[in-house]
Amino acid sequence: MMNRKETIHVQGTEIAVIKAKEHDYISLTDMAGYKDELKARVVVSNWMSTRFTLEFLGIWEQIYNPNFNCMEFHTFRNATGRLVLTPKRWIERTNAIGIFSKSGRYGGGIFAHKDIAFEFGSWLSAEFKFYLIKEFQRLKEDELQQKSLEWNLQRTLSKINYRIHTDAIKEHIIPNMVTAEQLSHAYAEEADLLNVALFGMTAKQWREKNNSHKTSG
């Protein structure tokens, strides 16, 4: 399940970040454009075809993917000669989830879990990886701040709605339903406005009434 798309900028390169199954995935295609914009898929494939990258991808999948095909992974790892590995071949043969391809002319490409994307960044250059991590952290901090603002807004709206409800009860419902004595109790505590409107008595009056029943019994 895909959520909203964000973008970060690393050394003049715009890189897409999307949510998939509650995890952040970063566009390897966009990152590869830093090295060769016209041959981004070839750049990704060259990186995946190194023995070190293969080991890293295999370890990641074994930790996070219960359906990872370890037998196929060992087949890749034990192969002799030059290894040629593409995202499509890796995904189809091993049921990998750390990397996936997203179709579409705009917003499509090869995406990888942030752990894997950071490793790809190291392969591109140490400087690129450094700024990639910094920009990703900035994006996460901005998201947390936005969530905090939304939470505060919801809290404020809830307070306003509660005031509107209690004022409406105070002005329109209670005067027609309760005695002057009950009204004085209700004004003492706003929460009792709802009790009086719904049950015809305050919380204190309910306790007194029920205690008297227990005593008489």
Same domain? 171 vs 137: no
Residue 17 class from Cβ within 10 Å (0-12 exposed, 13-18 middle, 19+ buried)?
buried
Same domain? 40 vs 59: yes
- What pTM did the predictor assign? 0.65
Paired sense of beta strands 2-10 and 99-102, if any: unpaired
**Which of the residue ranges 121-125, 143-147, 155-159 would you say has the lowest mean pLDDT?**
155-159
Same domain? 29 vs 101: yes
Same domain? 65 vs 100: yes
Same domain? 129 vs 177: no
Cβ neighbours, 10 Å, residue 154: 10
Residue that finishes a domain, picked among 131, 147, 163: 147
Same domain? 85 vs 184: no
Q: Which residue has the tokens 């995904």?
A: 91
pLDDT one-digit tens code per residue, 192-212: 666 666 667 777 777 777 776
Q: How far apart are CA 88 and CA 90, in angstroms?
A: 5
Same domain? 196 vs 167: yes
What is the span of the domain harbouring residue 131?
A: 2-147
Q: What percent of the chain has pLDDT over 90?
A: 47
Same domain? 73 vs 95: yes
Same domain? 128 vs 163: no
Largest separation between any pair of C-alpha atoms in the chain: 94
Residue that finishes a domain, picked among 129, 147, 165: 147
Same domain? 94 vs 122: yes
* Closest to 114 (Cα-Cα) out of 95, 98, 102: 98
pLDDT one-digit tens code per residue, 119-135: 999 999 999 999 999 99
* Closest to 132 (Cα-Cα) out of 144, 115, 148, 150: 115
pLDDT one-digit tens code per residue, 76-94: 999 888 889 999 999 999 9
Mean pLDDT for the stretch of residues 157-168: 63
Domains in the chain, number:
2
Q: Which helix (H) or strand (E) holds 22?
A: none
Same domain? 88 vs 101: yes
Q: How many angstroms separate the Cα of 131 from the Cα of each of 13, 17, 43, 138?
A: 11, 15, 20, 10
